[in-house]
Amino acid sequence: MTNPFGIQRLSEVTPASETPFLIEGLIHRTATMIYGRPKAGKSFVALSAAMALGEGTPWLGQDVEPLNTLLWALDPGQEDETYQRFNTAQGKADSRLFITDVRPEDSDEWWSEFSDVLVSTGVEVLIVDNLSALLGRGSYNNDADVRPALGRLQALLDEGIAIVLVHHSGKFNEEQGSGKSPMGSTAIEAWGRQFIQVTDDQELRVLRVYGNNTPERELGIALNFNGEGDHGAFVTLVGEEETVAMTAEHEELVARAKARWDGRKDRQKKQGRSPQQKAGKASEPRQNGIPERIREALKDKPEGMGWNELDKAVTGSSGAKSKAANSMVEAGSLTRTKEGNRTVYRLAS
């Protein structure tokens, strides 16, 4: 099949020959997000990865090719602070790591010029620290503020520039975030292809690594703020494991899924929300007290009432009253007899 839209059989697709990662299993070739709570060490992890990319030195056990890497330092005073950290970690003088603290403007013209400069100067990786500062007065909980900024980063991705975005995670039930997710609008997490969550446990930092192209796993690292590290600036790898959910055997995975399914059905049944209960409620006519009003109208009428008379004596729509009367006849609480041209209703004795 030949067409201008590239439609072809899925079985005939030629997969890309290159890995989707700049640092295998860690930093994606497109959009990576490093996030965590304040003081967890996410900026140190991001700088460590940036130095490895700029110098072409191994990082957390993975080989790294040197790339032109730009660190966009958006917090006040961050450029000087980062320079001091770089020197503390004995960064190389010929490193291809660059830095800027220019503040972005909220205009398409500014971003177009910024993109042109990045492309013309050969920037291959842009590390943005951090999203909150990138938004300026906007809020990362507001889709209207988040989407334009992410769209502008996407335009840089379209130019072939890999982006590492530093962001915050929330406490459980805090604003729109959770303890295990990037804080804010769901558009933020949808943007990323690879994620590294940084959490601290005293001397230990745990990196929860997951994404579209890797199984979820956890890395334990020692984070040395004096710059020393056996597996990159500041970082020493002390342990690694895949999460149980990703390494479970097929039978175990199916059993756990079925247990959750059964639990879900039990909860629905207790709450009256099972499909069978909903179907039963849907089939029952909404009578809104009409049977009681029919009984009240007929209680002193042993001779009964014709339908027209009963219809006038009982409030409600005629359709609802007819359904209620039919239901009462079927239940045996009301009798219906044909007397000449009249249909007479009486309370059952």
CA 203 to chain centroid, in Å, comes to: 30
Name the fold adopted by 18-250.
Answer: Rossmann fold (3.40.50)
Domain borders along the chain are: 18-250, 290-347
Amino acid at 69: T
Q: Which of 196, 268, 187, 286 is nearest to 232 (CA)?
A: 196
Assigned token pair, 106: 């909220």
How long is the chain?
A: 349
Collapsing DSSP to helix, strand or coil, 219 comes out as strand
CA 73 to chain centroid, in Å, comes to: 26
Q: Which residue has the tokens 């975030």?
A: 177
Q: Which residue has the tokens 């970690």?
A: 89
Which segments of the chain does DSSP mark as H helices, in order? 42-55, 78-88, 108-120, 131-135, 143-158, 186-191, 244-247, 250-270, 275-283, 290-298, 307-313, 318-331
Amino acid at 86: F
Q: Which of 105, 175, 179 is nearest to 142 (CA)?
A: 175
Helix axes 318-331, 290-298, angle to 10 degrees: 70
Collapsing DSSP to helix, strand or coil, 10 comes out as helix
pLDDT in tens, the chain (349 residues): 678 888 888 888 887 778 899 999 999 999 999 999 999 999 999 999 999 999 999 999 999 999 999 999 999 899 999 999 999 999 999 999 999 999 999 899 999 999 999 999 999 999 999 898 888 777 878 888 899 999 999 999 999 999 999 999 865 444 444 467 888 888 898 999 999 999 998 889 999 999 988 889 999 999 999 999 999 999 999 999 876 555 556 677 778 788 888 888 777 777 766 666 555 554 445 557 899 999 999 998 999 999 889 988 998 888 888 888 888 898 889 999 988 888 899 998 7
Assigned token pair, 348: 């059952």
Assigned token pair, 329: 């006849």
Name the fold adopted by 290-347.
Answer: Arc Repressor Mutant, subunit A (1.10.10)
